Amino acid sequence: MIRSSPELLAVSRRWYEILRTKKNTDELRNYLSKSDELRFVGTGEGEFWSGQAVRDGVSGFFAEIPAPVVFEEVEAEAFENAETGWSSFVHKIQFVGFDEPVFYRTVLIFVLEGAAWKIINRHASVPTPNIELVGKEQLAIQKLVDAAREDGPELIQTEGLASVLFTDVEGSTTLAEALGDQRWSVLIENHFQVLAAIIEKYHGQFVKSLGDGTLSVFPSAKEALTAAIKIQGPLHRLPRSHLSVSGLGFILVMSCNLVEIFSVLWSIKPHA
């Protein structure tokens, strides 16, 4: 069964952190599969490589790229199904000497080798308008996406026009490294289940999760805030043998006559 994978999201982010900082590029080969079926597809013409050449050359390939002045994660998601998985990322990247950033889309496909996830296929691309490639705009999928966004969730509002609750685990990358990918994956999945139950209890809709964050909508600001308060309880009851919780609190991100948005931020640190 296909499911969201916080574990692969964490592995992918460590890969991209090496690309961003340009530190320890020699470690990149350790992320790659040892299979002859390994494939590496770049954005340049002719950049379609396979097998041992990729493992031997990946460090030098990325070391040759200048350190970016802008490297921002725009979108990120990851999924797994038994012994395979994949992640999709969009980064906004800008290099010295260029006036505008470029949006890079990258897909990493993983396989389990032993107990570790390894990249079997890396495919990167940069957007080029279809009108320039095929002489025609291709809008069928985009129209469906736009229609879905316009429809949105059906809510019976009692206060304001929209009450939205965001949650995010602060310092999740560091925490995932401290716990290990498998323990982190179990922890975050259990975390989502607890949040979903509380959100539904207070008449909210668990709209989506992205990485370690969630987005939910409520029929009123009162119910959104009540759910946010109730979320604190399970966090304080996390097993102390594994974790301790600190820095729990609310931050009012935005409040106006059209949208009421509350954000809950917390940090979960390894127990010493």
- Give residue 237's pLDDT: 54
Burial of residue 249 (CB within 10 Å: 0-12, 13-18, 19+) is exposed
- Give residue 255's pLDDT: 28
Buried b (16+ CB within 10 A) or exposed e, 63-83: eeeeebeebeeeebbbbbeee
Tokens for 62, please give them. Answer: 């990325």
Hunting for tokens 């080798």 — which residue is that? 113
pTM above 0.95, yes or no: no
Res. 202: pLDDT tops 50: yes
Confidence class of residue 192 from pLDDT cuts 50, 70 and 90?
confident
Question: Do 182 and 7 meet the contact criterion of CB atoms below 8 Å apart?
Answer: yes
Interval 222-249 mean pLDDT: 59
- Give residue 213's pLDDT: 76
Pairwise CA distance, residues 81 & 103, whole Å: 28
Q: How many CB atoms lie within 10 A of CB 224?
A: 26
Q: How many CB atoms lie within 10 A of CB 18?
A: 17
| Kind of pairing between the strands at 213-218 and 205-210 | antiparallel
- Reported as a single tens digit per residue, the pLDDT across 51-102 is 999 999 999 999 999 989 999 999 999 999 999 999 999 999 999 999 999 9
The CA-based angle 223-229-234, given to 5 degrees, is 125
pLDDT: which is higher, 47 or 272 = 47
Average pLDDT, the chain: 78
- Reported as a single tens digit per residue, the pLDDT across 135-150 is 877 777 677 566 655 6
Confidence class of residue 261 from pLDDT cuts 50, 70 and 90?
very low
Between the CA of residue 23 and those of 27, 60, 125, 183, what are the distances in Å?
Answer: 9, 12, 23, 26
Pairwise CA distance, residues 228 & 83, whole Å: 36
